[in-house]
Structure 1
Amino acid sequence: MTDRPDRPTPPPGGAIDRLERLLLLLPRAQRKGGVTFDELERLLEVDRRTLRADLDLLTARASYLRAGDPADLQITIDAERVEIFSPGPFHRPPRLGAREALALVLGLRTRALVRGLADTPATHADALLARLEGVLATRALDDIQPLPVEDASARPVDGLLRDRALDAIAERRPVRLRYLKPGASDAEVRQLHPLTLVHAEGRWYLMGEAPDRPPPAVRSFRLDRILEIEIEDESKPFAYPDPFDPHDYLEPSRVFQAADPVEVTVDYSPKIARWIEERFEGVPLEGWGFRVTHPVADREWLVRHVLRYGGEAVAHSPGREWVIEALDHR
């Protein structure tokens, strides 16, 4: 049996070291086909667990991406390589929205009160405060968007659980999962040949083949809904399916289940339309925002997606009924 640590290993170095590693990792992982862990280990002189921790930090800071939407970040990790998809946010500094600017103004004002602004000479922070207040004074209050509605069912992901999933992927070992389906009170046991770990829509998913179903039987499980992962060490390593490309089951920022998608139309208000246009293909609506027709194979994805934007996203049938049903059960 392979020895595994009882807890995630803390990464070496401080914040500056991690930032330097991410600056070197990101452009390589964004190439088509990504980058191998062997190449990253040689380049950065750290082990694979440190690289995993760095990638996890990246997902935790995804809200700093352009438009502040963590769903723009997608990470795919298999036994040998990591690939990152992002529609451009890492290529230029993010612009502050009105909400971020207002929060920064409040923070700077608090800082000034604490240290006594009147008794100290002007600083760069004071100049920035004056500039931000001038910009906000010219903006309408409607430009300050409400905070998105988050999925209350989401649970924090156990780092040790994620490491165990990645160990099983690297060793190509079958696993048994205790998985809690949405709305269920009892967990069910699933068998899986884990193939890749995917970060999309702000969450981690474990993707693999179900050995008890006829191929292709690719399934994905939200990692925060997995209660336990048991690696079957005594079993022989499973054969990697050929051909298998995780991108066949992925869309930018989304994980598709292996099912026939249903087309659902969603209208987005002018407040968020410009950001939606950067992520999805659609058509502008005369006088009201932007319209996108989504191929939906996972009803839960559509519900989370619409609720994230509160009243700024309106789903047409059957998506409207899905959202109403989900709200009735919360």
Structure 2
Amino acid sequence: MKAGRLVSILLLLQTRGRMTAAQLARELDVSVRTVYRDVEALHSAGVPLYGDAGHAGGYQLLAGYRTRLTGLSAGEAEALFLSGIPGPAAELGLGPALAAAQLKLRAALPAALRDQADRMRARFHLDAPGWYAADEEVPHLTAVADAVWHSRVLAVRYRRWKEPTDVDRRLEPYGLVLKAGRWYVVAGPGPRTYRVDQILELEARDEEFTPPADFDLAAYWQRYQADFLARLHRGEAVVRLSPAGAARLTGAAARALAETGVREQDGWRRAVLPIESEDRALAEFLALGTEAEVLEPQSLRSRIAATARDVASRHAAP
């Protein structure tokens, strides 16, 4: 709706300063011509908005002008209360601040929206970590977060999975990411990704750095995940699965079953599944018991057969 778009233009200019018509059009997913018409409408309404031509030009609000708009929609109010995940906020030392912000926001809402926001909070709860993930100590999280915020260099002792396991690193922390209940810091040079809970020692240096102007944390993380999954599943296995076995697949294996699975006459399904390594695949397919049969590669099939014989022998009656 046009009214909502005009409010969005005001808020964008208020929070970001000067923006070109093209930038506003991208943010609002409209044409540049529509932005021109909206700016004219704001002018007509008396909003002190002006534009400069040229390469460095753009629209901006008159210095000192701030809108006092508080007109949240019902969906926006619900989303704001739903987005406050208390666990991660507390880990960053922001638990009290989050509670205070929600209290102030709730007090500012009209009665109808306040009731909807309260109902949303009462009926939905976000718990990001998995069921079997134990709560891990992350003693250096607040120090890392402070360094991210103030662009301070960190000297850390870090434990990695390969030899030598404990290494010293100089980090320029660009941003923090919470993934499946685990915190990661993305840092230069590189950038590279580090698990915050694997930082053994940390020293915040009195040295500032400037993050790359073109660094986008969300875009980097998306590329990092795609690359990680590509490196993780380097092999394939041809597998037959019973209906019960197929139902127990998750993640990449479940997606591969949906894409490549062929139903056979006995009701089982044959599919090409990605595997990380034969060692990992051996454990995963053995966990499916008699609900799965590995056909290829032959080396994996032979290892499963040998392991099954060893298990049967060990559990044979004395």
TM-score (norm 1): 0.39
Structure 1 or 2: more helix by fraction: 2
Q: Which has the higher contact order (CA 8 A, sep 6+)?
A: 1
* Structure with larger Rg: 2
TM-score (norm 2): 0.40
